[in-house]
Structure 1
Amino acid sequence: MDTTTFEAKHTINGPMHTSLRHDSAHKHVTGTAEYIDDIPEPAGTLHAALGMADRAHAEILSIDLTAVRAAPGVVDVITAADIPGINDVASTGQHDEPLLATDKVEFHGQPIFVVIGETREHARRAARLAKIEYRDLPHWTDIDSALANDAPLVVKPMTLKRGEPETEIEKAPLRVQGQMYIGGQEHFYLESQIAMAIPGEDEDILVWSSTQHPSEVQHMVAHVLGCANNAVEVKTRRMGGGFGGKETQGNLFACLAAVAAKKLNRAVKFRPDRDEDMAVTGKRHDFRVDYDLAFDEEGRIHAVDATFAARCGFSADLSGPVTDRALFHADSSYFYPHVHLTSKPLKTHTCSNTAFRGFGGPQGMVGGERFIEEIAYVVGKDPLDIRKLNFYGQPGSGRTLTPYHQEVEDNIILKLVEELEASSDYRARRQAIIEFNENSPVIRKGIALTPVKFGISFTMTAYNQAGALVHIYQDGSIHLNHGGTEMGQGLYTKVAQVVADTFNVDIDRVKITATTTGKVPNTSATAASSGSDLNGMAAYDAARQIKERLIDFACRQWKVEKEQVEFLANRVRVGEDEVPFDTLVRAAYYDRVQLSAAGFYKTPKIHWDRAAGKGRPFYYFAYGAACSEVSIDTLTGEYLVDRTDILHDVGKSLNPAIDIGQVEGAFVQGMGWLTTEELWWDTKGRLRTHAPSTYKIPLASDRPKIFNVKLAEWSENKEATIGRSKAVGEPPFMLGISVLEALSMAVASIADYTVCPRLDAPATPERVLMAVERLKAM
């Protein structure tokens, strides 16, 4: 559906493009926002706890649950034998992810059984009493050991190729080969995974789930119960954070709660402990990038050949599309005349890694920025100059074709970068930093300005669709439901703004209701930064239908032409008369006008052939740039982020206040991934960074001391998105790369900027110190 009608009708001063507060902001800060654990429990609600494997890879020889069943407060113990349907929750249909292990375990912490107790404490204590005998099998937990053990691939790899890299790489004047490790990341949502299942009559069951994908939970619950989808209703009002960690990983808890609830005919709640949540659920994928770069003395890239190997975990989950998207963004913002990129999604004996904000794109983009950094140190230039030299060009330049053969038609990266370069005073500050470093034996500084170009759409084309349901009641109040989920990002508020703006009424008239599979079916995950794009357009489609009916009614009732009907603020002008909105609605009801509509939207233009590595996987690109300055202590490796300036592109913002909040939060989360957040498994395959005590997310004190964030107000999406806006969820996450690059410059000062420090991520103080010592020893 086109938005030209929408743009012609909406009022500039209406709810759209306005900084309205998040609909639940006051509830968040006062503690009155209702999450699943706050919902009053039905009488007789039981509680579940996991029985987890304590081996990384082993055959199960015997399981003795006698002591578990006899423990105080235990009502039942659920094993694979109790699953009435299929013992599988694989999101990709590969049937490689058992709900409960049977004869073999493939990662430390894999669920084997579930205890159902009168209280959560009863269930958790009893779960530790099982006696299980194993026969250990060889295991590997990281990329290097997976490669050394010839580990299988969890999915078929993808290759992107354009030009003749195999021959052109030999012809270029200069060439660099290298390797980079990019660490994973724990989602660390504030609300852990949680589900509550309430059995109904016959096969019916209601599941409250903290999930980004209610329809998938519906499908999975039906799958394991052996019933039709229409027997399962899944509801999600809000999540306490998701970041991709609740796209597929909530399936396990919802399904187990549902199996127990139907077996016992009692409500069952399942809320794992934080340590258990972190041990069982997937993370951002670790990557190892092996690259071969060819370029000239000026620093212009001729050819790139790179392999992106990933730690995927014991099952496929979303590793296929995640590793695909890493290749889609390995070009970052740069044109590669000749390119060959390959993914290598490796099986490891760890929890199955999954979606995380950016969905593989950040790992690919970090690799692309390392390519630029390598070239800059070889030719002795400012990395920003090498970036600008290799940017994609404008249409007609011959430098617009991506490695996946999509034309970059909306390129604004140079304008963004040059505006930020000027506003942040980058050149003068860089020169001052170089002079400072010459006279500072211990503290060294660095600065970097890095770009972001991020493709928007699900790479699985079928997911690029959405539905919505809009009702107007007789009193003029509006009921809105759509397939998107709210995890704190403000999606509900933005879509409500769209509906309010369509009718030109106050947003307070629009009631935002919990996402439920019983109202809008077959929804896509709220992911890929497409929540507002998809659901906003679907809601507009529904509202547009009702509005057209109201206009037709007004024309009949007042005997005027359509051009004489205009929706003003909370009222409608019909010819010479002005009628309050609710009065018009009530009159339309008595004339038997349908005041309800289902809306639908599917993203146009996109298509993708994975086997050929060609197509248009993205509807458009979102852009951004960040300039960060850091100081490091060369004796300890510790560092501070002194200042960050950001200019980010969200098109014509639907809600500038919410969008700026998303940019700020995404930057800090991206910075955390690349600096302090480190995952570590021991030799027995146990995740040792499994709690706030051992895993360090950024604190408020870690944010840049000076933090300037601005939206590119001149930008407007060239594609017909809702209100000409652009996605904001994932693209700003990559702005944190500027901190990693600034740290690299600070380290490089030890060798007078002649050697690429090759900092791996996360660049913890230990890694910074080791890099400093390596350069000192050269």
Structure 2
Amino acid sequence: MTRSPAPVAAPAHPQPAMGQPHPHESARAQVTGNASYIDDLPEVRGTLYAAPILSRIAHGHLHGVDASAALQLPGVRSVVLAADVPGDRLLAAFAHDEPVFAIDRVEYAGQVIGLVVADSVEQARRAARLVRADTTPLPAVLNVQQALAQQNYVLPPVFVRRGDAAAALARAPHRLRGQLEVGGQEHFYLEGQIAYALPQEQGQWLIHSSTQHPGEVQHWVAHALAVDNHAVRVECRRMGGGFGGKETQAGHLAVWAAVAARKVGRPVKLRLDRDDDFLITGKRHPFAYDWEVGFDDAGRIQGLKLRMAANCGFSADLSGPVADRAVFHCDNAYFLQDVEIASYRCKTNTQSHTAFRGFGGPQGVIAIETILGDIARALGRDALDVRMANLYGLGERNITHYQMPVEDNILHDLLPKLELSAQYRQRKEAISAWNARNTVLKRGIAITPVKFGISFTATLFNQAGALVHVYTDGSVQVNHGGIEMGQGLHTKVAQIVADELGVPLARVLVTASDTSKVPNASATAASAGTDLNGRAAQFAARNVRANLAAFVCGLDGCGAGEIQFQGGQVISPKAVRAWSDVVQQAYANRIQLWSDGFYRTPKIHYDKTTLTGRPFYYFAYGAACCEVALDTLTGESRVLAVDILHDVGQSINPAIDIGQIEGGFIQGMGWLTTEQLVWNEQGQLATHAPSTYKIPATGDVPARFRVALWPEANREDNVGGSKAVGEPPFMLAVAVYEALRDAVAATRADGACVHLTAPATAENLLRALGRLDTAAGREGG
């Protein structure tokens, strides 16, 4: 029976899904404990469990392994070593410089030599501790100073120059020199690294991996097992946090589990406990800096020489692009006319450091903000005024040192607005009065901006695919190559698709990321998850909508441009039909109700050898005003108040975006205040548990924590007029560091540089105050 079309009525105008603060798609399941992570998946009968065998020394020859004591324990099934890798014994990483398992030498304390496979997790871990490696120690390089002296690098140094920095320094009215060390940071994801490898029929594999990059896991596993990529399927519904730590290094777990599963012929699960996770996996790259700057009476930079040395650990991993992005962001928001930058990628006998939120950007931003803070103190000027004087401007002053024009700069408007809303000038006067009255407790305040480039610096990763399926009941399923790690990616993609099809958000479901559905997907990283996957899903939905519009046009004799999809209805000049009715009629008439979508970021290009071009599609901007208190007797500090004004373009989901800004800021605050990594003289990581490594807790959140969104759409044609939000807010926390230096400076009136090693722990603050002379332990710089 054919249903007659409803008479034409005035179109309804329901609220679109985009732009609204919809709850995270998994929020209810997560708070009720019904959201499944890999360790929650039902295990196949016969599953075995693996535990890693770790190197106890930082560097040495590996002659062999004695596993006899481990193999005698009940439940122990096998020991897996480098000789058991059927394919390439080196991981399929970019630099091809990291073994699956240690082969003939160990390169850091915590390197995985092999695995023990047993009937239970406890049996495997107990047995792994009994395995003894026969090693001969070798000298270890444990910090960048040693690496620089020995010219020990994982990749060649990179140099970027513009103008004549030496001549500019020579003619500048004022000059300063300085050094800085910034420590690394542990990712501390709530869900640790985990993989579950299941052999399938006919030489195929299913890998459940907590990864930001399923396509790379697929490639790495296939490479190690000596099979084609199509024989390996990788699936991930969600992660319990990643922050970059699961971009490459989740691949290690997957390869280890798969190699073990192949040897024993059974499914193998490998989940690192927290201590082993700390010891095995890489961190944010620690950096050390030397700089010389020339400037005028207003604090404008005339010339700059900057050397950045990144502690990369024992292998390259992602150190090349991380160090490149530090070079790209060492200008932050400021024009550098005559500049000379040297970037060294130092090899040390520590964990191979890897991606972390900001991906080298924070290490670049903190360098220039430190320099500007010192310039302001040397001149006796307000630091915000000095920062404003150096902002990118118009004409020749809007070209970065890597030759990209800054065409969308909003900081000349954003910073003054934050200055007024945060009452910066009045509070600065009040703080000066406080500091004059108080000799022990000092306060400091600072405003720092952020200009952060959005796109993968490796241009080939700026592409994405998606599938949109419309079922005959009108429900919609979406699959894309991105990974949900708590950041709300699936929620935003569902909102985008719902609006493209004009259906309620509740009718759209985003499913697990799966290499058998969307192949060759890029990592969910670089803040580009929504930009890439959201646009691909939008294009897929648009294709389905076009099919349905053409079908309705055929029914009603109108043009495709006259068809509207909104509020769960399909509206033509002649009839208003329910969405589900149109879908059913279209299916009955053999109209395609599914489609793929593909997107590649436009405009971007750059020369990897010279680091020049346009590596970013656009910039995201923001600024933070931070006030701190410092106890000059103990070094204890506290963040008292934070005001943030941040640019997310036209927000797809304001609630999620504000949450990302808050979380990014607090995580950045942890990097710069409490999260100190310490390696001892033997190269062993001493801070490898929550008892010794301190991330911010709820009590560290400032009492005043205000976040506002900049009210302007992205000037580039990005999905929904939005801007990326994952990484840029992290660098707003540099305001905490600068406010602490302001508080230290309040203890003296000489205008000298404040040398404060980051993180600004109590000990490092006391050293900055001149109350401690020696370091306790060795940090990663």
User: TM-score per shorter chain, which class?
Assistant: over 0.9
Partner of 1:124: 125
1:624 aligns with 2:626: no
Q: Residues 156 and 320 of structure 1 are in contact (CA less than 8 Å); yes or no, is this contact kept in structure 2?
A: no
1:187 aligned onto 2:193: no
Alignment of 1:588-737 (within 5 A): 588-712=586-710, 714-737=711-734
Shift of 1:165: 1.1
Deviations 1:26-63 (A, max 9, x none): 12212111000000101111100001111100001232
Q: What code does the residue aligned with 2:488 have?
A: G
Q: Partner residue of 2:740? A: 743
Instruction: State the distance in 1 between where 2:133 and 2:245 align.
Output: 30
Alignment match, 2:237: 237
Matched, 1:46 2:48: yes
8 Å Cα contact 1:197-1:206 kept in structure 2:
yes
The answer on whether the counterparts of 1:90 and 1:98 sit within 8 Å (CA) in structure 2 is no
- Distance change in 2, residues 1:11/1:614 (3 Å): farther
Give the distance between the partners of 1:611 and 1:277, measured in 2 at CA: 35
AA in 1 matched with 2:143: D
CA change 1:203–1:316 in 2 (3 A) is same
Q: What is the CA–CA distance in structure 2 between the aligned matches of 1:82 and 1:654, rounded to whole Å?
A: 49
Deviation at residue 775 of structure 1 after TM alignment:
11
Candidates 574, 577, 592, aligned match of 1:576: 574
Q: Which residue of 1 aligns with 2:202?
A: 202
Mapped contact 1:426–1:627 kept (Cα < 8 A)? yes
- The range that moved more, 212-221 or 606-615, is 606-615
- Which position in structure 1 is the counterpart of 2:584? 586
Q: Distance in 1 between matches of 2:12 and 2:132?
A: 66
Change (3 A) 1:641 1:10: farther
Post-superposition offset of 1:87: 1.2
CA contact (8 A) 2:62 2:135 kept: yes
Classify the secondary structure of the residue corresponding to 1:313: coil
In structure 1, list runs of 5 or more residues that go unmatched: 1-8
Structure 1 residue aligned with 2:38, among 33, 36, 39? 36
Aligned equivalents of 1:775, 1:155: Cα separation in 2: 36
Aligned to 1:405, the other structure's residue is in SS state coil
Which one of 427, 439, 455 corresponds to residue 425 of structure 2? 427
Q: Distance in 2 between matches of 1:83 and 1:570?
A: 54
Asked if structure 1 preserves the Cα contact closer than 8 Å seen for 2:756 and 2:767, the reply is: no
The answer (yes or no) to whether the contact 1:207–1:234 under 8 Å persists in 2 is yes
Q: Aligned pair 1:275/2:272, yes or no?
A: no
Contact persistence 2:92–2:223 (CA under 8 A)? no
Look up the match of 1:5: none
Q: Distance in 2 between matches of 1:720 and 1:465?
A: 15
Counterparts of 1:221 and 1:446, CA distance in 2: 51
Q: Distance in 2 between matches of 1:568 and 1:245?
A: 40
Q: Deviations over 1:103-140 (max 9, x none)?
A: 10000011111111100011000111112221110002
For 1:485 and 1:553, how far apart are their aligned partners in 2? 34
Residue 67 (structure 2) aligns with: 65
The amino acid across from 2:620 in the alignment is: A
State the shift of 1:559 in Å.
2.0
Match of 2:93 in 1: 91
CA shift, 1:151, in A, is 4.1
8 Å CA contact 1:648, 1:711 repeated in 2: yes
d(CA) in 1 for partners of 2:220 and 2:182? 32
CA contact (8 A) 2:477 2:509 kept: yes
Which of 758, 765, 768 aligns to 2:762? It is: 765
Q: Percent identity at matched positions? A: 53
- Aligned to 1:773, what secondary structure does the other structure show? coil
- Equivalent residues in 2 for 1:386-465 (5 A)? 386-394=386-394, 396=395, 398-465=396-463
* Per-residue Cα deviation, 1:718-755 (whole angstroms, up to 9, x for no partner): 10000110000000000111110000000001112622
Using structure 2 for the length normalisation, give the TM-score: 0.96
| C-alpha displacement of 1:11 | 7.5
Q: Tell me, in whole angstroms, the C-alpha distance in 2 between the residues paired with 1:336 and 1:447.
A: 25
> What are the residue-to-residue correspondences of 1:513-552 with 2, within 5 Å?
513-552=511-550
Residues 718-727 or 550-559, more deviating: 550-559
Q: Could you tell me which of 24, 27, 33 is aligned with 1:25?
A: 27
Matched, 1:754 2:751: yes
Q: What amino acid maps onto 1:456 in structure 2?
A: I
Q: Partner of 1:411: helix, strand, or coil?
A: coil
Aligned to 2:152: 152
Query: What amino acid does structure 2 have at the position aligned with 1:61?
Result: H
Q: For 2:521 and 2:566, locate their aligned partners in 1 and report how far apart those are by CA, in whole Å.
A: 33
Number of matched residues? 763
In 2: Cα distance, 1:711 partner to 1:428 partner: 23
Q: Is contact 1:11–1:504 with CA below 8 Å preserved after alignment?
A: no
Given that 1:404 and 1:614 are in contact with CA atoms closer than 8 Å, whether structure 2 keeps it comes out as: yes
Q: Give CA-to-partner distance per residue, 1:674-724, whole Å, 9 cap, x none.
A: 000000001111101001001000011011121111111x22111000011
Task: Specify the SS of the correspondent of 1:156.
Answer: strand
Return the alpha-carbon distance in structure 1 between the equivalents of residues 478 and 561 of structure 2: 28
What residue is the counterpart of 1:4 in the other structure? Answer: none
Other structure's SS at 1:155 match: strand
The structure-2 alpha-carbon separation of the partners of 1:415 and 1:694, relative to structure 1 and needing over 3 Å to count, comes to: same
Counterpart Cα distance in 2 of 1:357 and 1:270: 25
Residue-by-residue CA offset, 1:155-208 (whole Å, 9 max, x unaligned): 122222111112221111111111100110000000000000111012200000
Aligned position for 1:107 = 108
The equivalent position to 1:492 in structure 2, one of 486, 490, 493, is: 490
Which residue of the other structure, out of 73, 76, 82, is the alignment partner of 1:74? 76
Range with greater deviation from structure 2 (750-759 or 276-285): 750-759
- Quickly say closer, same or farther: Cα 1:765–1:513, change in 2 above 3 A: same
- Equivalent-residue separation in structure 1 for 2:24 and 2:93 (angstroms): 32
1:66 is displaced (CA, Å) by: 1.4
DSSP-derived class of the 1:202 partner? helix
Q: For the residues of structure 1 that align with 2:414 and 2:567, how far apart are their CA atoms?
A: 36
Following superposition of structure 1 onto structure 2, how do residues 268-417 of structure 1 map, counting pairs within 5 Å? 268-394=268-394, 396=395, 398-417=396-415
Q: Distance in 2 between matches of 1:291 and 1:64?
A: 50
- Distance in 1, Cα, partners of 2:533 & 2:679: 39
Amino acid at match of 2:505: I
User: What is the DSSP-based 3-state SS (H/G/I as helix, E as strand, rest coil) of the residue aligned with 2:619?
Assistant: strand
Amino acid at match of 2:498: A
1:55 aligned onto 2:52? no
Tell me if structure 2 keeps the 8 A contact 1:157–1:320.
no
CA deviation digits over 1:215-274, x for unaligned, max 9? 000000000000000000000100000000000011111011111222322211100110
CA contact (8 A) 1:15 1:504 kept: no
Separation (CA, whole Å) in 2 of partners of 1:729 and 1:209: 22
Q: Would you say the 8 A contact 1:751–1:775 is kept in 2?
A: no
Structure 1 CA distance, aligned partners of 2:79 and 2:397? Answer: 62
Residue type of the partner of 2:594?
Answer: S
What SS is found at the alignment partner of 1:751? coil
Match of 1:176 in 2: 176
Q: Deviations over 1:462-506 (max 9, x none)?
A: 000000011101110111000000000000000010000101111
Q: CA deviation at 1:13?
A: 2.4
Which of structure 1's runs of 4+ aligned residues deviate more than 3 A?
9-12
| Corresponding position: 1:472 with 2:470 | yes
User: In 2, distance between residues paired with 1:178 and 1:646?
Assistant: 29
SS in 2 for 1:544: helix
The alpha-carbon distance between structure 1 residues 11 and 447, as it changes in their structure 2 partners (threshold 3 A), is farther
Letter matched to residue 282 of structure 1? G
